[in-house]
Amino acid sequence: MIRTTTASIALTAAMAMSTSAAEFEISAYTGFQTAPHSRVDVVGNDGGNKSIGAGWEGRSFEMPPYYGLRGTWWINDKWGVGAEFNHAKVYADASTLTANGLSVLEFSDGINYLTVNGWRRWQNPNSRWTPYAGAGIGLSIPHVEYQAIGGSRTYEYQVTGAVVQLVGGVSYAINDTWSLYGEYKGAYSMNKADLVGGGTLETNIITNALNVGVSYSF
């Protein structure tokens, strides 16, 4: 009786370990990304202050394009953790530049979000479709490009603050290792950058994106 019970417990434990075996997933995506207007405060640059109502353009498919890379460790069939790099970008529109006496105001080489993420998925053994959702927190590392007409030019990467993001989507399994997915991704970054010529630039930027991508699991 004891032997039978022990064997049953061992078999149950083995089955539980099998169903909850860790899965690693590498993903890449691109998509269409936009950003609503935001306030940009410039203080002390070249002796002047500006409060700018910036109209942002995403220009997702212009070089360098919008894209992201993601690594996820699925601890079991429901929960996962991972890291992500997202090359989002924004450009101030022509009317913003003209109205504020600017030559350039953009993060065109990326706002560059680097985040740690948590994930939840809803697998169905009878379906190839898997809905999922996630949230992340990390750093905003933009390429800051700013210049007032006749002023000093700032053109460099900086760590400017924190970013949080929310993601929701659905994946489709092609086979045991490859899958395609589509998702919505929203991010909110808080940025304070140092400017050449003195002073700072501060702005909080929201990005909204519809992504499509491919994943490889092993």
In a domain, 185, yes or no: yes
d(CA 108, CA 145): 8
Q: How many domains does the chain have?
A: 1
Range of the domain at 185: 21-217
Q: Which residues contact 112 (CB under 8 A, 6 or more apart)?
A: 85, 86, 87, 88, 140, 141, 142, 143, 157
pTM score, two decimals? 0.87
4 located within any domain: no
Residue 5, in any domain of the structure: no
Does some domain include residue 12? no
> Which CATH number covers residue 112?
2.40.160.20
Nearest 5°: CA angle at 43, between 37 and 46? 115
pLDDT in tens, the chain (218 residues): 444 434 443 444 444 444 445 799 999 999 999 999 999 999 998 878 999 999 999 999 999 999 999 999 999 999 999 999 999 999 999 999 999 999 999 999 999 999 999 999 999 999 999 999 999 999 999 999 999 999 999 999 999 999 999 999 999 999 999 999 999 999 999 999 999 989 999 999 999 999 999 999 99
14 belongs to a structural domain? no
